[in-house]
Structure 1
Amino acid sequence: MLDIAGELARWAEEGREFAVATVVAVGGSAPRGPGAALAVDSEGTAVGSVSGGCVEGAVYDLCVQALEDGGTVVERFGYSDEDAFAVGLTCGGVIDVMVTPFDARSPAREAVRSALSAAASGEPTALARVVRGPAELLGRALSVRSDGSYEGSYGSGSTELDRTAAAEARAMLDAGRTGTRDLAEDGTQCPGGLTLLVESNVPPPRMIVFGAIDFAAALVRAGKFLGYHVTVCDARPVFATRARFPEADDLVVDWPHRYLRRTATDRRTVLCVLTHDAKFDVPLLEQALRMPVAFVGAMGSRRTHADRDRKLREAGLKESELARLRSPIGLDLGARTPEETALSIAAEIVAARRGGTGAPLTGSATPIHHDGRRPAGAEAA
């Protein structure tokens, strides 16, 4: 739901009644992951998507029905070999969708309003909703802030349940993750336990591009397209200019290793070293490969890489640290131009993030979506 927070926050501010359908579990080759949402207001206006088009019509109707009867339901959509024209995912996947109305009757309305407002303002926030458990708790929500404080209640009569759920949601918010969390019966006082869908809204991950060269300009555009906050860093002020990098979020004139030492990074941060100059690369990579970041890649020929590897070994890096370096950076696309090279680098970043192989899907038996979670009881696709 937080992926369409801007529009929904406006609806809530205007006092509109609306229903939201949210993907709570996926299996097989499902087009969108948990947290993807489609919302419909009382006038029939729709925003968002749960499937990229496959089941939108049926989900729209469920939202309209939810606004009429005020009930929360979870529906499964999957492909039927017996009836290829039945409502379902023609890609062969399975999705579970929870449909919840947010009107004057909704006990979760204020918690959801708080989460939507925070997300629309760019504040870190998590929305933790019950997607499996006792019927009276289904759809109940907590809005959890980065300091662990929260708004809302599951209304189960157990403040321990709210505190436990808030702690789980904060842990996922700290990691910038959206997904489900199972709470055991002994921790919730609910027979059989319950499952939460935790949606995290965090600032975009960082991409730091070292080396203000023409390839970097193309990579900045690719990084912005992928949703990164992109910084370009170079020690040479004549090259690190706004005229050359109009789309970069930040331009930094500093020695790369010195800037990396003082700037904020996390486990989502991507570092792309395009300088291919040993006096910049070696001290920078010596530091980068010891940091808990998502991706470290360096440009250069295989000869450059071999020389760089030797210097990094002499600097004392361990095998496990050297193994993290992706060099030469990028997938083998036969790239020549800066734009093609940026596409090659971006493709490797996505593959590393999602667990892809980089192999063509044609004739391949590898899964199309590597990070989907199969709904309980779903058949393998």
Structure 2
Amino acid sequence: MRAGDTAPLIGGIIADRLIGPHRAILLGGLMMAAGHGLLVVEAVIIPALTLIALGSGFFKGSAAARLSGLYGAGDPRRVEGFRMFYLAINIAGLIAPLVIGTVGERVHWHAGFALSCAAMVSGLAIYAYGYHASAVEASSAGSEASSTHTRQTRIAPIALIGLEIATALLTVPNAQLTNAYLLWAKEGFERDVAGWRIPVSWLIAADGLVSLAALVASGMFWAWHDRHRGAAAAETKALAGAGFVVVGGACLTLAALVHGRTGVPIMWGLAFQLLNSLGLANVLPAVMASFGQASPHRLGATVMAGFYLSLFAGGLISTWLASQFVTLPITTFWLLHALCGVAGALIIALLKWYAAVRHPQAPGRLG
């Protein structure tokens, strides 16, 4: 069970009802730092992991809510703010295994965990130092949004439920990257290049690099679009991304149809990873921005937790499908993933139409 995706609901409720997002970020960050620090003591590994999971619950939703609060109502820059958010996460995800993993192997794993603890404390210190300036901006944005807040949140529950379902479905193929996809790559992909076999683990490393590049490329494209054609709405970016996810799923389905379980050229898999990364680089920031836009001020962290719950749901669907990898025909297996993407794209298209009908003068919103 992916507890890290469900904990934000509990953390979000406590943040919104009791301690506020700022304190929740500090508390969650300190809990995660303490958890990594405790990993140096093998006897308390379970309490350490529990602290990390609970800390992430306080941190995730509150951090996303604070970021969303920096933008005024209907501000199209909110999507790009969340793109930068994901860009930072991907950069950290690439650096951490290289630095901390190297220290763990060359020095000692205790030193690696201590280094991760120090990095988290440093990050919290930077956040705390800049808190007052960001609080002023968030207050200004909240004042600007107050006059339209009631109208905006009136249909939010419908939009948020649709977004949660769409996000869960669109992330199903991506969640399979570390599950059945790797099994298929190991057993069925042609990975020999000039007599050397590409390790399957390199596909995961390549996906991290491709995801980072996709975020950068997508940000550059939309910046160009904003300059030359005007700001694109969040639903437009999400729908464009969903299209990439659908085509990526179609690549795996077509590869299975043409080649079966074995003898699959590795380029099919790389094409899927590229298209899937381009898709999620547009879907996830747009969806997070829409959650932030629709959430009431006093329920920001709780509503943002709904986004992480949708990732959890996508992971559950993917895990169930992975259990059918051996029994289902390979073409049927990947077709089900492609259909999940199609269904998610259709829901976003319906939300885009719904937003255009109900709020023709309110750009940047998914419902």
**TM-score (structure 1 length as normaliser):** 0.23
Larger strand percent:
1
Which of these two proteins has the greater Rg computed from alpha carbons? 1
- RCO higher in structure (CA 8 A, sep ≥6): 2
Larger helix percent:
2
